[in-house]
Amino acid sequence: MEQTLILVDNNDKILGYAPRSICHTGQGKRHRAFVTALYNSKGEILLQRRKHALFSNLWDLAGASHPLRLRGRNESYGEAAARCIRDEFGLKGVSFRKIGAFNYFVPQGKKCENEHCALIVGKYDGKVKANPKVAYGFRWTSLNETLAEIRRRPTSFVMWARLGAKLLRKHSLGKRLLKTKSREKRA
Protein backbone atom coordinates (compact mmCIF):
# COMPACT_ATOMS: atom_id res chain seq x y z
CA MET A 1 0.00 0.00 0.00
CA GLU A 2 1.32 3.44 -0.95
CA GLN A 3 2.39 5.79 1.83
CA THR A 4 0.30 8.88 2.56
CA LEU A 5 2.38 12.03 3.09
CA ILE A 6 1.46 15.19 4.98
CA LEU A 7 1.10 18.27 2.74
CA VAL A 8 2.32 21.53 4.29
CA ASP A 9 3.14 25.12 3.41
CA ASN A 10 6.61 26.66 3.78
CA ASN A 11 5.98 27.13 7.52
CA ASP A 12 4.93 23.49 8.16
CA LYS A 13 1.21 24.32 8.44
CA ILE A 14 -0.76 21.21 7.45
CA LEU A 15 -2.75 21.62 4.22
CA GLY A 16 -3.88 18.04 3.63
CA TYR A 17 -2.61 14.64 2.53
CA ALA A 18 -1.52 12.98 -0.71
CA PRO A 19 -0.01 9.70 -1.92
CA ARG A 20 3.79 9.62 -2.01
CA SER A 21 3.81 9.20 -5.82
CA ILE A 22 1.85 12.45 -6.34
CA CYS A 23 4.16 14.34 -3.96
CA HIS A 24 7.26 13.30 -5.93
CA THR A 25 6.02 13.59 -9.55
CA GLY A 26 6.40 16.62 -11.83
CA GLN A 27 6.49 19.72 -9.62
CA GLY A 28 5.25 17.60 -6.74
CA LYS A 29 3.43 18.87 -3.70
CA ARG A 30 5.21 20.41 -0.73
CA HIS A 31 5.18 17.83 2.07
CA ARG A 32 6.83 17.03 5.38
CA ALA A 33 10.17 15.29 5.32
CA PHE A 34 13.11 15.03 7.69
CA VAL A 35 16.80 14.30 7.80
CA THR A 36 18.28 12.77 10.94
CA ALA A 37 21.69 13.67 12.32
CA LEU A 38 22.83 11.00 14.75
CA TYR A 39 25.87 11.97 16.84
CA ASN A 40 27.98 10.19 19.46
CA SER A 41 29.77 11.32 22.63
CA LYS A 42 32.99 11.76 20.60
CA GLY A 43 31.21 14.51 18.68
CA GLU A 44 31.07 12.54 15.43
CA ILE A 45 28.03 12.34 13.16
CA LEU A 46 26.88 9.23 11.31
CA LEU A 47 26.82 9.30 7.51
CA GLN A 48 25.50 6.57 5.24
CA ARG A 49 26.09 5.83 1.55
CA ARG A 50 22.54 5.55 0.24
CA LYS A 51 21.21 2.68 -1.84
CA HIS A 52 18.27 4.31 -3.63
CA ALA A 53 16.67 4.38 -7.08
CA LEU A 54 17.36 8.11 -7.60
CA PHE A 55 20.15 8.84 -5.11
CA SER A 56 22.25 5.70 -5.16
CA ASN A 57 25.81 5.77 -3.83
CA LEU A 58 25.46 9.32 -2.47
CA TRP A 59 26.30 10.27 1.09
CA ASP A 60 23.46 11.16 3.45
CA LEU A 61 23.15 11.93 7.12
CA ALA A 62 22.08 8.98 9.30
CA GLY A 63 18.58 8.77 7.85
CA ALA A 64 15.93 10.61 5.88
CA SER A 65 12.27 9.96 5.21
CA HIS A 66 8.79 11.40 5.72
CA PRO A 67 6.41 11.57 8.67
CA LEU A 68 3.37 9.57 7.52
CA ARG A 69 -0.38 9.74 7.87
CA LEU A 70 -1.07 6.41 9.61
CA ARG A 71 -4.45 5.03 10.71
CA GLY A 72 -6.10 8.46 10.84
CA ARG A 73 -3.33 10.30 12.66
CA ASN A 74 -0.12 12.12 11.78
CA GLU A 75 3.16 10.52 12.76
CA SER A 76 5.35 13.01 14.70
CA TYR A 77 8.83 13.92 13.51
CA GLY A 78 10.30 12.00 16.48
CA GLU A 79 8.24 8.88 15.74
CA ALA A 80 9.21 9.02 12.07
CA ALA A 81 12.92 9.47 12.88
CA ALA A 82 12.80 6.50 15.30
CA ARG A 83 11.14 4.35 12.58
CA CYS A 84 13.74 5.41 10.02
CA ILE A 85 16.77 4.74 12.25
CA ARG A 86 15.30 1.38 13.32
CA ASP A 87 14.72 0.37 9.67
CA GLU A 88 18.06 1.64 8.35
CA PHE A 89 20.37 0.71 11.26
CA GLY A 90 18.34 -1.52 13.60
CA LEU A 91 18.70 1.03 16.41
CA LYS A 92 16.07 1.38 19.12
CA GLY A 93 15.67 3.60 22.17
CA VAL A 94 17.19 6.74 20.66
CA SER A 95 15.37 9.93 21.59
CA PHE A 96 15.09 12.64 18.95
CA ARG A 97 14.42 16.35 18.81
CA LYS A 98 13.76 18.79 16.00
CA ILE A 99 16.28 21.64 15.89
CA GLY A 100 15.25 23.42 12.68
CA ALA A 101 13.89 23.05 9.16
CA PHE A 102 14.37 24.22 5.58
CA ASN A 103 12.37 24.13 2.34
CA TYR A 104 13.78 22.93 -0.94
CA PHE A 105 12.78 21.82 -4.43
CA VAL A 106 14.97 19.60 -6.63
CA PRO A 107 13.75 18.20 -9.98
CA GLN A 108 14.91 14.66 -10.87
CA GLY A 109 13.68 14.05 -14.43
CA LYS A 110 9.95 13.29 -14.10
CA LYS A 111 10.31 13.07 -10.31
CA CYS A 112 11.16 15.72 -7.73
CA GLU A 113 11.80 16.54 -4.11
CA ASN A 114 9.47 19.32 -2.91
CA GLU A 115 9.87 19.25 0.83
CA HIS A 116 9.64 21.08 4.11
CA CYS A 117 12.51 19.16 5.71
CA ALA A 118 13.01 19.11 9.47
CA LEU A 119 16.46 18.51 10.93
CA ILE A 120 16.07 15.89 13.66
CA VAL A 121 18.97 15.03 15.99
CA GLY A 122 19.63 12.14 18.34
CA LYS A 123 22.58 10.82 20.32
CA TYR A 124 23.79 7.21 20.11
CA ASP A 125 26.97 5.55 21.41
CA GLY A 126 26.49 1.87 20.59
CA LYS A 127 27.45 -0.36 17.70
CA VAL A 128 26.00 0.45 14.28
CA LYS A 129 25.24 -1.89 11.41
CA ALA A 130 23.67 -0.47 8.24
CA ASN A 131 20.81 -2.36 6.62
CA PRO A 132 22.35 -3.58 3.32
CA LYS A 133 18.97 -3.13 1.59
CA VAL A 134 19.18 0.66 2.03
CA ALA A 135 22.90 1.49 2.45
CA TYR A 136 26.22 0.52 0.89
CA GLY A 137 28.10 1.55 3.99
CA PHE A 138 28.48 4.16 6.69
CA ARG A 139 31.05 6.17 8.60
CA TRP A 140 31.35 8.27 11.72
CA THR A 141 32.97 11.61 10.94
CA SER A 142 33.31 15.09 12.33
CA LEU A 143 30.91 17.81 11.27
CA ASN A 144 33.95 19.85 10.16
CA GLU A 145 35.12 17.07 7.83
CA THR A 146 31.59 16.59 6.50
CA LEU A 147 31.20 20.30 5.71
CA ALA A 148 34.64 20.38 4.05
CA GLU A 149 33.75 17.36 1.91
CA ILE A 150 30.43 18.96 0.95
CA ARG A 151 32.33 22.07 -0.21
CA ARG A 152 34.83 19.96 -2.22
CA ARG A 153 32.35 17.47 -3.72
CA PRO A 154 28.77 18.69 -3.21
CA THR A 155 27.30 16.24 -5.74
CA SER A 156 28.55 13.28 -3.68
CA PHE A 157 25.88 14.18 -1.07
CA VAL A 158 22.11 14.22 -1.39
CA MET A 159 20.70 17.76 -1.32
CA TRP A 160 18.93 17.37 2.03
CA ALA A 161 22.16 16.18 3.68
CA ARG A 162 24.01 19.26 2.38
CA LEU A 163 21.30 21.59 3.66
CA GLY A 164 20.92 19.66 6.92
CA ALA A 165 24.67 19.73 7.68
CA LYS A 166 24.79 23.49 7.07
CA LEU A 167 21.80 24.00 9.37
CA LEU A 168 23.41 21.79 12.01
CA ARG A 169 26.57 23.95 11.84
CA LYS A 170 24.47 27.03 12.71
CA HIS A 171 22.81 25.34 15.70
CA SER A 172 24.45 25.38 19.15
CA LEU A 173 24.74 21.55 19.04
CA GLY A 174 26.60 21.77 15.74
CA LYS A 175 29.03 24.29 17.19
CA ARG A 176 29.92 21.74 19.89
CA LEU A 177 30.39 18.99 17.28
CA LEU A 178 32.97 20.85 15.19
CA LYS A 179 36.00 19.00 16.73
CA THR A 180 36.49 15.28 15.81
CA LYS A 181 38.05 12.61 13.53
CA SER A 182 36.57 10.14 10.99
CA ARG A 183 36.07 6.35 10.80
CA GLU A 184 34.49 4.45 7.88
CA LYS A 185 32.79 1.03 7.88
CA ARG A 186 31.10 -1.06 5.19
CA ALA A 187 27.63 -2.54 5.53
Separation between Cα atoms, residue 3 and residue 70, nearest integer Å: 9
Q: Is the pTM of this model over 0.75?
A: yes
* Burial grade of 74 (CB within 10 A; 0-12, 13-18, 19 or more): middle
Q: What is the mean pLDDT of residues 55-68?
A: 93
Backbone angles phi, psi at 151, to 5 degrees: -65, -40
Q: Give me the count of residues in the chain.
A: 187
Q: What is the pLDDT of residues 90-101, one digit of tens each?
A: 999 999 999 999
Q: What is the pLDDT of residues 100-153, one digit of tens each?
A: 999 999 998 899 999 999 999 999 999 999 999 999 999 999 999 999 999 999
> What domains appear along the chain, each with residue ranges and CATH number?
4-173 (3.90.79.10)
Q: Is there a contact between 163 and 34 (Cβ–Cβ < 8 Å)?
A: no
Give the chain's mean pLDDT: 92
The letter for the amino acid at 69 is R
Task: Give the pLDDT confidence score for residue 181 in this predicted structure.
Answer: 52
